[in-house]
């Protein structure tokens, strides 16, 4: 199966997560699941946009250039009313426009002598100058935010302006990241010459949290069939998503696929036409749990996480996945018979085009090649090679 087909299959089979109401302050990064409407006109009144004086514009256009100070209109107070066209009301940014005025002359365009304001020559007195009209941004009954949008700083502020104390958002998946293998030892513990550090899981957890997933745990299981069945069963009962690192290939001690089958997990696919990461596994549990089996080699682990797992998690939350960019190769590469995921660093060339400088790993276990990279190119099969400037899809970590 090609990476393209596998990605589409994941998108079509992954079960959707439900929605929940969350306090506004907890919604940053979440996916909005219900439209947000204005509670009233926005702005709710004719709003002053600059510090200055509010006047009747027709009076100034009729020739009057001097105005007496009537009062000061501060933000957050009821509107004053102009009592004479010969007067002006001093106004602050954000205040309601005083009644009887329709123009704000900014402080740079007048002089003050005692309580008299004299307009400078360049002062323009036009109706609604430096005034944002009531309802100019939004009105009740029209969505301010539409379902499906990711809630960032601007969206949270908009929801707050609509008076929303809580929002209807996608529930985040409960994720358990599981490593397998007797050779893995946690950082900080004594290690033998024939063992290696448990590093893949820490990279996976960091990537998930970097993408805003908070409910992430991790576990390590030895190569023991009975232990795998028991612990994986417990995780399936308590989690929405299992992400496994290692144990999904065809080695003698790769017990994970068999244990998952015994637990009722349907295998959707188990091998892909790609390098690195051919033994990529995907399945759906008996109660809609999602299981991703990532290859054990470090480069393949993080590559498959970015290429398949992250888009799948976003799809489960009814959200658009991470953007796929189209970038050019900065140098030629030799050909490949399978789709190849090439780690690369992005930069701009002389004509401001985004180009990728490749970091060729020394095998799929070479974590060091990923340091300083932005993501990877997905190079399609092309035995004849890739010229400088070849355009390919780019996935960020």
* Domain boundaries 3-17+173-316, corresponding CATH code: 3.40.980.10
Domain limits, CATH 3.90.105.10, in the chain: 19-42+137-170
Question: What confidence category does residue 249 fall into, taking pLDDT thresholds of 50, 70 and 90?
Answer: low
CA distance 310 to 10: 11
As its CATH architecture, domain 47-132 has: Beta Complex (2.170)
What's the whole-model pTM score? 0.80
* Domain boundaries 325-396, corresponding CATH code: 2.40.340.10
What local confidence, expressed as pLDDT, does residue 368 receive? 86
Question: What confidence category does residue 251 fall into, taking pLDDT thresholds of 50, 70 and 90?
Answer: low
For residue range 195-224, list pLDDT tens digits in order.
Answer: 888 888 999 999 999 998 989 999 999 888
Cβ neighbours of residue 41 under 8 Å, at least 6 residues apart?
A: 134, 135, 138, 139, 140
Q: In three state form, how does the secondary structure of 16-70 look?
A: CCCEEEEEHHHCCCCEECCCEECCCCECCCCEECCCEEEECHHHHHCCCCEEEEE
The mean per-residue pLDDT over the stretch 144-148 comes to 93
Domain limits, CATH 2.40.340.10, in the chain: 325-396
The DSSP call for residue 258 is: H
Superfamily of domain 19-42+137-170: Molybdopterin biosynthesis moea protein, domain 2 (3.90.105.10)
What local confidence, expressed as pLDDT, does residue 337 receive? 95
Cis, bond preceding 273 (omega within 30 deg of 0)? no
Question: CB burial class (10 A; 0-12, 13-18, 19+) of residue 109?
Answer: middle
What local confidence, expressed as pLDDT, does residue 319 receive? 85
Query: If you count them, how many residues does the chain have?
Result: 397
């Amino acid at each position: 199966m090609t990476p393209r087909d596998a990605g589409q299959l994941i998108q079509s089979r992954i079960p959707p997560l439900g929605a929940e109401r969350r306090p506004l302050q907890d919604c940053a990064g979440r996916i909005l699941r219900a439209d947000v409407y204005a509670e009233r006109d926005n702005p709710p009144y004719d709003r002053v946009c600059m510090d200055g004086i509010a006047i009747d514009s027709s009076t100034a256009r009729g020739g009057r250039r001097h105005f007496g100070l009537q009062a000061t209109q501060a933000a957050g107070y009821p509107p004053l009313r102009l009592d004479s066209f010969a007067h002006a009301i001093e106004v602050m940014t954000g205040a309601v426009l005083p009644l009887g005025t329709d123009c704000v002359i900014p402080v740079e365009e007048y002089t003050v002598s005692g309580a008299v304001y004299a307009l400078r020559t360049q002062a323009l007195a036009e109706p609604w100058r430096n005034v944002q009209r009531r309802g100019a941004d939004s009105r009740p009954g029209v969505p301010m935010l539409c379902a499906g949008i990711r809630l960032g700083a601007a969206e949270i502020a908009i929801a707050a302006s609509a008076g929303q104390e809580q929002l209807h958002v996608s529930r985040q998946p409960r994720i358990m990241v599981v490593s397998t293998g007797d050779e893995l030892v946690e950082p900080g513990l004594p290690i033998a010459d024939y063992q290696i550090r448990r590093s893949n899981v820490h990279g996976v957890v960091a990537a998930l949290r970097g993408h805003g997933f908070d409910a992430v745990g991790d576990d390590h299981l030895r190569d023991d069939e009975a232990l795998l069945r028991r612990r994986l069963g417990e995780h399936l009962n308590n989690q929405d998503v299992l992400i496994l690192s290692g144990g999904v290939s065809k080695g003698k001690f790769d017990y994970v696929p068999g244990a998952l089958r015994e637990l009722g997990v349907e295998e959707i696919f188990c091998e892909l036409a790609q390098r690195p990461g051919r033994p990529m596994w995907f399945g759906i549990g008996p109660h809609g749990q999602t299981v991703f089996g990532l290859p054990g080699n470090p480069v393949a682990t993080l590559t498959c996480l970015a290429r398949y797992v992250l888009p799948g998690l976003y799809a489960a939350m009814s959200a658009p996945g991470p953007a796929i960019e189209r970038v050019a190769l900065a140098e030629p590469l030799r050909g490949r018979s399978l789709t190849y995921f090439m780690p690369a660093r992005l930069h701009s060339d002389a004509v401001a085009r985004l180009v990728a400088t490749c970091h060729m790993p020394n095998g799929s276990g070479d974590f060091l090649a990923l340091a300083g990279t932005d993501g990877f190119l997905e190079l399609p099969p092309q035995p004849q090679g890739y010229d400088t400037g070849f355009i390919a899809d780019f996935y960020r970590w």
